Amino acid sequence: MQQFDQIIARLPYSKPFLFVDKLHAVDENGVEGSYTFPEDSAFYKGHFANRPVTPGVILTEVMAQIGVVCLGIFLATDALDNDLEIALTSTQVDFFRPVFPSETVLVRSTKDYFRFHKLKCKVEMLNSNGELVCRGTIAGMMKSKNHA
């Protein structure tokens, strides 16, 4: 559990753009974590009027933070210091169900490959009923700012 807290502490995000509440599992092949969408999140205002829905770009960001960045931090712990540069390189996501304010989602990620500082993962998001919200492939690059 302490290892999970250390990974979350190394994320280069802060509220309100930190979309990781808890990591449940992590190993060299993947990660699982969750996030609950606060009802008062700014992106709900006007999306959509009288029926707020979490934007797909935010769902993608949640999957990227948990499924790629958290896993990348775990995989590169010995190679990288605390001063990370992170860049999203590609996404392909299909959406199946909406996510509403106050919902908790579970993200599961499976490593496709990690080489030359590039991590590519198959990622899926489930709602609290275990229903598939979205899934796809997300890739990103990570490197230490001190080792250009």
Q: Select which of 24, 47, 117, 147 is catalytic.
A: 47
Query: What's residue 130's pLDDT?
Result: 97
47 has catalytic annotation: yes
Query: What's residue 93's pLDDT?
Result: 98
Question: One digit per residue, pLDDT tens: the chain, 148 residues?
Answer: 678 999 999 999 999 999 999 999 999 999 999 999 999 999 999 888 889 999 999 999 999 999 999 999 999 875 555 567 889 999 999 999 999 999 999 999 999 999 988 999 999 999 999 999 999 999 999 877 765 5
Query: What's residue 138's pLDDT?
Result: 98
SS3 string, the chain, reads CHHHHHHHHCCCCCCCCCCCCEEEEEECCEEEEEEECCCCCHHHCCCCCCCCCCCHHHHHHHHHHHHHHHHHHHHCCCCCCCCEEEEEEEEEEEECCCCCCCCEEEEEEEEEEEECCEEEEEEEEECCCCCEEEEEEEEEEEEECCCC
Query: What's residue 76's pLDDT?
Result: 83
Query: What's residue 97's pLDDT?
Result: 98
Domain ranges (residues) in the chain: 2-144
User: CATH homologous superfamily of domain 2-144?
Assistant: Hotdog Thioesterase (3.10.129.10)
Query: What's residue 53's pLDDT?
Result: 97
Query: What's residue 87's pLDDT?
Result: 92
pTM: 0.93
